[in-house]
Structure 1
Amino acid sequence: MHSVAEALVRLGEVAESAPVTRLSAAFAAAGHELALVGGPVRDAFLGRVANDLDFATDATPEQILDIVRPISEAHWDIGRQFGTIGAKIAGETVEVTTYRADSYDGTSRKPDVVFGTSLEADLLRRDFTVNALALRLPQLQLVDPSGGIEDMLEGRLRTPSAPSSSFGDDPLRMLRACRFTAQLDFLVDDATEAALEELAPSIRRISAERVNEELSKLLRTDDPRRGLELLVDTGLAAEVLPELPALRLEMDEHHHHKDVYQHSLTVLEQAIAYEKARGVLRSPDLVLRLAALLHDIGKPATRRLEAAGAVTFHHHDVVGAKLARRRLRELRFDNDTIDAVSKLIELHLRFFGYSDGVWTDSAVRRYVRDAGDQLERLHILTRADVTTRNKRKADRLAFAYDDIERRIAELAEQEELNAVRPDLDGEQIMALLGIRPGREVGQAYRFLLELRLDEGPLGPDVAADRLRAWWAARS
């Protein structure tokens, strides 16, 4: 957190950049107000790089267009009905929005758009005080009508108006509160948390697509744990991702198992650390993070209390993959994400037999084949899933996984393991056996694939001999 003086220096640097000076001069010449608002001002205090340049003005959308048209390389008015005009100025994308004084009907998060005339009033209708900041241009005058700077100094997240009113107007702000606690490393104040608990059911008014967007942004933060815990503690997760609070399984004095909910959050943290350290995936990797968070969601449904205090979760990997597929589909995730997350959850236990006994080359090939293009994510998820405090056990598992990765690399170098295919393709199979396309070709292909996995590459001549023998025995 920077001091006010340091933040003003940073804001001054932003104000002196080519797109801002050009825009500021044009609005001043036209006799209209202009202010840099929201995230860029907040991030100057937090020492973060501002990725967006958002402005507010008393000019109408039509007037904004007239002002930006002569100074921009391109402009667009896709948000015109909401008062927003976009433009590209000096190579930077900017958005300029007319002051707003919206009202809500209490049933939809979409307000009746009403344009305002006051910067202060516009700021007070925003989601949180730390986002209700502005820098008037070209005066470089800081505007903070709701105490956002003090809240940043205290690491506090609260709404400019009464939280029940703010969340009642737009329930999506409740998910944004969870995201910002993680993104900014802030805590919500007591009144805000109470309103989150009271109004959690109203999140049902929000479309699945918007919920997806906020959850994804939360998971992409550097440390999502605080936001996820707020999501669960306030009851919001029960509405949008019920599988997560369901992981807080009841414990009793006779049957003991690790806290599955806290374990899952730790696995997520460790997966993020591996994701960054290994540097193979583009970070942040949403698929990996979803899989890490949800990898054990099959445990509540498969929990069994056995004799002598044992607790089992047989087949929770398979059940969890199905539950994840259903939930992600309801949240409108794309099919590729759903397929990848489900596959990772289904495979996340596969490795743990390796440490009990060295796998054959065939078993290693099958591991790679089944993981497919998710192999690197599976490497990370499996490593992250080790949360035991028993150092000897943790070291043994880490050594075992180092060993399997070494063997995969060696086999890949020897056999081009990433493209495991039979030694003969479908056309060659049909020509060799004198058969037409159909089920028998598929059966022959699978026979050769099993040979390839069990014995490695055989070469076309040996594969042809083995196929003829299989065909003759089959006939």
Structure 2
Amino acid sequence: MLKSIFKDIKSSGGKAYIVGGYVRDKILNVESKDVDIEVYGITPQELKNILQNYGRFRLVGKSYPIYLLEDYEFSFPHKTEVGVKGEHYKVDPKMTIEEACARRDLTINSMLYDPLKDEIIDIYGGQEDIKKGILRYISPESFQADPLRILRVAQFKARFDFQVDEETEQLCEKLIPTLEKIAKERIFIEIEKIMLKAKYPSIAFRWMKKIGILSSYFSEIDDLSQIEQGEKYHPEGDVFEHTMLSLNVLSISERDIILMLAILYHDIGKAYVKRIKKVDRVHFYGHENEGAKRVGFFLTKITDNKEIISQVRALIKYHMRPLDLKNNLSKKAVRKLVNQVDIPRLLKLHKADTLGRKVTTDISYIDDILKVYNHVKDEVEPIIKGRHLIELGVKPGKKMGKILKEIYDAQLNGEFSNLEEGLEYSNYILKKIIFDDL
């Protein structure tokens, strides 16, 4: 279908190329699901007339038109113009491929692929830089047009383990102060790609520390390098080093962004609690609660998603709990925890935390905890609900909510495990309340 569309564009006097990441990944032999196509020489209306012959497509993009058809994304080369209302984009189908490619961030992302000729067009040496493993800007003018590109460099460095060209690195360092002007949603996307696409996310954070991005924008992470830990239990060194090792533990298939942000910030509280030094270790009592208290503020620099912040906070708050379960594992203990935090995620966080040290450790107890969780998870939904209390004569309102909570806590504590026992327990609680009121 795609070749047919390309032929129709050519018949209309235009030219189309697959661009960007797909071409880069093709050379790297990396699977790529995103197929971006850039169209030259025809108008948006002419493209619409062609695409409508191939099924339903939709138009997205406020700044400039992007047409989505199945897994394909069609767009046009565009110019950035500055007017009284600020910057805006203007479609320019007559732009040459040299001009269009020069506007991209890095040489490795500047190549075009013509599927009709099975030909890669490489104007700025992207293939050679891939061969050498180098990240290099095309021109300083185009690169600094979007300061977010310094995080893209970090992302690609981590994903491909490439070296950053010296001049490119110097320009990135120069652009760090302008990061504050970038919308947090765009910053979040780059952090997410680092976390979920790089085998070793720490590569990006170490580079960001090296050139000063962390000290400028994520100082709470940068400062972790000043917090030493006891050598016996943390021979890897300071908290920053431990955090970096922890980020690399989980396979890509095990990760999601909530979990990875929790790993990044899991020990942030160690900077804010009193350190108690003993002969062979340093204790950070209460660091999990302190970290949970503060992480929301840090995360608002990259997201306003309350659900993400809430779940990261819960993971940090309870990240030491699996150690308690290791020594005191019971259905009751797991039931009480289920309502507080996502346990499968918590156990992955614990795995990363435990293995993020240069110590050989047996973590088989994590599977034991998971087995108990899988056994009790279906028991966790409240057995007694509002309709049951109404049938027992309780009127809806705040008082009912308090009663339901007390009954649910009893369920988690193992006082009852089925509806019959739950109704019996509810009657007991209601009689007790009436007696207390008298």
Q: Does the pair score TM above 0.5?
A: yes
| Residue aligning to 1:264 | 243
Pairwise CA distance, 1:47: 1.0
2:432 aligned with 1:470: yes
- Provide the rounded CA distance (Å) in 1 between the counterparts of 2:4 and 2:186: 35
1:230 counterpart (196, 200, 207): 207
- Provide the rounded CA distance (Å) in 2 between the counterparts of 1:327 and 1:269: 22
2:178 aligned with 1:207: no
For residues 285-364 of structure 1, the aligned pairs below 5 Å read 285-306=256-277, 311-355=282-326, 357-364=327-334
SS of residue paired to 1:248: helix
2:143 aligned with 1:172: no
- AA in 1 matched with 2:349: L
Q: Does structure 1 conserve the Cα–Cα contact (< 8 Å) formed by 2:159 and 2:197?
A: yes
What TM-score does the superposition give when structure 1 sets the normalisation length?
A: 0.79
- In 2 relative to 1, CA 87–376 (structure 1 residues): closer, same or farther, beyond 3 Å? closer
- In 2 relative to 1, CA 307–70 (structure 1 residues): closer, same or farther, beyond 3 Å? closer
Q: Does structure 1 conserve the Cα–Cα contact (< 8 Å) formed by 2:66 and 2:75?
A: yes
| Residue aligning to 1:418 | 380
- In 2 relative to 1, CA 51–252 (structure 1 residues): closer, same or farther, beyond 3 Å? closer
Structure 2: unaligned runs, 5 residues or longer: none
- AA in 2 matched with 1:322: K
2:369 counterpart (388, 392, 404): 404
Q: CA RMSD in A?
A: 3.3
- Provide the rounded CA distance (Å) in 2 between the counterparts of 1:327 and 1:80: 30
Pairwise CA distance, 1:136: 4.2
- In 2 relative to 1, CA 242–80 (structure 1 residues): closer, same or farther, beyond 3 Å? closer
| Residue aligning to 2:411 | 452
Q: Deviations over 1:86-131 (max 9, x none)?
A: 253xx5523131x4454679xx8x5664735321221122110011
- In 2 relative to 1, CA 250–29 (structure 1 residues): closer, same or farther, beyond 3 Å? same
Deviates more, 1:442-451 or 1:146-155: 442-451
SS of residue paired to 2:72: strand
- Provide the rounded CA distance (Å) in 2 between the counterparts of 1:449 and 1:77: 49
Q: Deviations over 1:208-247 (max 9, x none)?
A: 1111122112212142221222222222233443322122
Q: How many residues align?
A: 428
- Provide the rounded CA distance (Å) in 1 between the counterparts of 2:52 and 2:311: 47
- AA in 2 matched with 1:269: N
- In 2 relative to 1, CA 185–71 (structure 1 residues): closer, same or farther, beyond 3 Å? farther
- Provide the rounded CA distance (Å) in 1 between the counterparts of 2:292 and 2:186: 24
Pairwise CA distance, 1:315: 1.7
Pairwise CA distance, 1:137: 6.1
2:67 aligned with 1:86: yes
For residues 107-186 of structure 1, the aligned pairs below 5 Å read 110=87, 113=90, 115=92, 117-136=95-114, 138-162=116-140, 165-186=141-162
2:18 counterpart (36, 39, 51): 36
Query: Share of identical aligned residues, percent?
Result: 25
- Provide the rounded CA distance (Å) in 2 between the counterparts of 1:450 and 1:87: 50
Q: Does structure 2 conserve the Cα–Cα contact (< 8 Å) formed by 1:296 and 1:320?
A: yes
Q: Deviations over 1:298-350 (max 9, x none)?
A: 11122425465753322221221222222223422422212111111111111
Q: Hey, which of these two has a bigger chunk of helix by percent? A: 1
1:380 counterpart (322, 329, 348): 348
- Provide the rounded CA distance (Å) in 1 between the counterparts of 2:229 and 2:307: 40
For residues 6-21 of structure 1, the aligned pairs below 5 Å read 18-19=1-2, 21=3
- Provide the rounded CA distance (Å) in 1 between the counterparts of 2:58 and 2:330: 61
- In 2 relative to 1, CA 24–181 (structure 1 residues): closer, same or farther, beyond 3 Å? same
- Provide the rounded CA distance (Å) in 1 between the counterparts of 2:31 and 2:51: 27
Q: Does structure 2 conserve the Cα–Cα contact (< 8 Å) formed by 1:103 and 1:114?
A: no
Deviates more, 1:360-369 or 1:171-180: 360-369
- AA in 2 matched with 1:23: I
| Residue aligning to 1:58 | 40
Pairwise CA distance, 1:464: 4.5
Pairwise CA distance, 1:382: 1.6
- Provide the rounded CA distance (Å) in 1 between the counterparts of 2:36 and 2:427: 70
- Provide the rounded CA distance (Å) in 2 between the counterparts of 1:344 and 1:37: 40
Q: Does structure 2 conserve the Cα–Cα contact (< 8 Å) formed by 1:101 and 1:125?
A: no
SS of residue paired to 2:206: helix
Q: Does structure 2 conserve the Cα–Cα contact (< 8 Å) formed by 1:57 and 1:96?
A: yes
Q: Does structure 2 conserve the Cα–Cα contact (< 8 Å) formed by 1:298 and 1:318?
A: yes
- In 2 relative to 1, CA 167–232 (structure 1 residues): closer, same or farther, beyond 3 Å? farther
| Residue aligning to 1:247 | 224
Q: Does structure 2 conserve the Cα–Cα contact (< 8 Å) formed by 1:129 and 1:160?
A: yes
Q: Does structure 2 conserve the Cα–Cα contact (< 8 Å) formed by 1:128 and 1:157?
A: yes
- AA in 1 matched with 2:33: N
- AA in 1 matched with 2:247: L
| Residue aligning to 1:3 | none
Q: Does structure 2 conserve the Cα–Cα contact (< 8 Å) formed by 1:68 and 1:87?
A: no
Q: Deviations over 1:33-75 (max 9, x none)?
A: 3333222221211112332333334325346436625643234
